[in-house]
Amino acid sequence: MSRMKMKLQEKIPAYRDRISTLVKEHGQEVIDQVKVFQLYGGMRGLKCLSTDISYLDPDEGIRFRGYTIPECLQKLPKPAGAEMPYVEGHVYLLLTGDMPTEEDVKDVAQDFSERSKVPDYIYKVLADMPKDTHPMSMFSAAIVSMQRESLFVKQYEQGMSKMEYWQPMYEDAMNLMAKLPEIAAQIYRMKYRNNVIIPPKPELDFGANFAHMMGVDHPYDELSRLYFMLHSDHESGNVSAHITHLVGSALSDAYYAFSAGMNGLAGPLHGLANQEVLRWIQRVMEKMDNKVPSKESLTEFVWETLNSGQVIPGYGHAVLRKTDPRYAAQRDFALKHMPDDEMFKLVSMLYEVVPPILVEQGKAKNPWPNVDAHSGVLQWHYGVKEYDFYTVMFGVGRAIGVLSNLIWDRAVGQALERPKSLTTEMLEKAVGIK
Ligand code: CMX
């Protein structure tokens, strides 16, 4: 058994006891109240989910198992001479809650490399899809096509105790995570590089192997490690995390649950915003004859977008009320590696121009940039210009968080999710409308 799985096996019983005490002794205590607007307003702010894997503070941003992004970047083990930590170490941290040692990380890396072979039939499925299929549809289809590999399903069919559910879920989740970099990179090469596939190098770490299969040189390996870590988790209420959890609550396996989560990530208000940002930036550049615009003309363009009833992609957030630290981490990377990039200069100018406009417009609760405002420009700089693909990379990162949550869901026996709905008439009566 891997060190990581052993660590989980040690931790799960005490955790189960903690939750069962909480529910048994305090199950009837009220922690939040539902307001009418929340029923129509996407349940915004409603405290009705629980996870210990990450927590999103509106002002501070995300903490992974209690660690801020700068703390993770500093404390997680790194490959020799590298700037960014191993993704494998971040997986260990999210899943177990403990900062990994070098040995722990090597063990996860070895485990991933043994699980990384993608079944050949996946490439047949992808090759048969129409050429104009969106890469996120290909990604989701590849994941759900592997559902027949699920160990959870096989063991469930044979009959298994509820206490054991987490074990095959762990196997499915790890098998899936290990295969995603190759699936993503091959979708890219199939679609945008004339189907010239670069075979994996299993001796490389998660991020470096992805960069290698994409065919992009250093420091794209560093960027990939950073990118996957930053996109891994954002507590439980965002669409991709919540769907994965919801579908998993029906005891659907990791393949069904995660592909459903990816279909949610593919929405323009969620993960697809990173492609929308690039599309929008391209429109600005085209309008300005591919030169960085003046602040005045950029201001005009931002207002034009707003006045035509569209959102400024990459700005605003359902929970955050300050600049997203994931944006800040990517900005630090750009300042170090590509300070003179024209598009980066434009992104920096947007950072100055957009927030005061959104404040003046007075609608968005958060005028500051989110993760998606910066990710595309870094990819573009290293030649990954096919922005339809960006959400797939978001998905590879997001897998780490949502699949870790799915393992814990089964470990603590999270129930089938089934909230209650009311009719409009009932609501009108409840508030006294006759
Ligand atoms: N540009 C223009 N208007 C915006 C805006 C933006 N970037 N962000 C919010 N608003 C508007 C909303 O559309 C809403 O308008 P209506 O009242 O007319 O419906 C109003 O401001 C209030 O919205 P909010 O409460 O501040 O934000 P929500 O929680 O409803 O939505 C989000 C959050 C992210 C969907 C929204 O800010 C948005 O559409 N941003 C642009 C898309 C984006 O960047 N998405 C990526 C988010 C990160 C991720 O999940 O990947």
> Is 26 one of the annotated active-site residues of the chain?
no
Q: What is the pLDDT of residue 119?
A: 98
Residue 67 phi/psi, 5° resolution? -100, 135
Q: Where are the domains of the chain?
A: 273-381
- Alpha-carbon distances of 146 from 108, 180, 406, rounded to whole Å: 22, 11, 17
Ligand 1, atom 39: nearest CA belongs to which residue?
269
Q: At what angle do helices 87-96 and 206-214 cross, to 10 degrees?
A: 140
Is the predicted pLDDT of residue 235 greater than 90, yes or no?
yes
364/313 Cα distance (integer angstroms): 12
**What CATH fold (topology level) applies to the domain 273-381?**
Cytochrome p450-Terp; domain 2 (1.10.230)
Ligand 1, atom 11: nearest CA belongs to which residue?
364
> Is 111 one of the annotated active-site residues of the chain?
no
Q: Where residue 12 falls among pLDDT bands split at 50, 70, 90? A: very high
Active-site pick, 270, 324, 381, 409: 270
Q: What is the pLDDT of residue 383?
A: 98
Q: Which residues contact 388 (CB under 8 A, 6 or more apart)?
A: 134, 135, 136, 275
| Segment 241-261 mean pLDDT | 98
Helix, strand, coil tally for the chain in percent (to 5): 60, 5, 35
328: left (phi over 0), alpha (psi -120 to 50) or beta: alpha
Per-residue pLDDT reduced to its tens digit, 62-72: 999 999 999 99
Q: Where residue 359 falls among pLDDT bands split at 50, 70, 90? A: very high
Ligand 1, atom 46: nearest CA belongs to which residue?
270
Q: Where are the alpha helices (DSSP H) in 76-150?
A: 87-96, 102-115, 120-127, 135-145
How much distance in Å is there from the Cα of 229 to the middle of ligand 1?
A: 24
DSSP one-letter code for 232: S
Task: Return the best residue to mutate from 38, 277, 311, 392 for the ligand 1 pocket (most ligand atoms within 8 A of CB).
Answer: 311
210/227 Cα distance (integer angstroms): 11
| Segment 150-172 mean pLDDT | 97
Is the predicted pLDDT of residue 292 greater than 90, yes or no?
no
Q: Which amino acid is at 92?
A: Y
Per-residue pLDDT reduced to its tens digit, 301-335: 999 999 999 999 999 999 999 999 999 999 999 99
Q: Where residue 289 falls among pLDDT bands split at 50, 70, 90? A: confident
CB 334 within 8 A of CB 377: yes
Structure token digits, residue 280 = 């929008």
Q: Where residue 291 falls among pLDDT bands split at 50, 70, 90? A: confident
Determine the 3-state secondary structure of 297 from DSSP.
Answer: helix
Is the predicted pLDDT of residue 288 greater than 90, yes or no?
no
Residue 34 phi/psi, 5° resolution? -90, 130
- Alpha-carbon distances of 163 from 14, 264, 412, rounded to whole Å: 13, 30, 8
| Residue 284, burial from CB neighbour count under 10 angstroms (0-12, 13-18, 19+) | buried
Determine the 3-state secondary structure of 63 from DSSP.
Answer: strand
Q: What is the pLDDT of residue 287?
A: 86
DSSP one-letter code for 83: S
Q: Structure pTM?
A: 0.96
185/13 Cα distance (integer angstroms): 38
Pairing mode, strands 54-57 and 61-64: antiparallel
Mean pLDDT of the chain: 97
Is the predicted pLDDT of residue 290 greater than 90, yes or no?
no
Residue 162 phi/psi, 5° resolution? -55, -35
Is the preceding peptide bond at 219 cis, omega within 30 degrees of 0?
yes
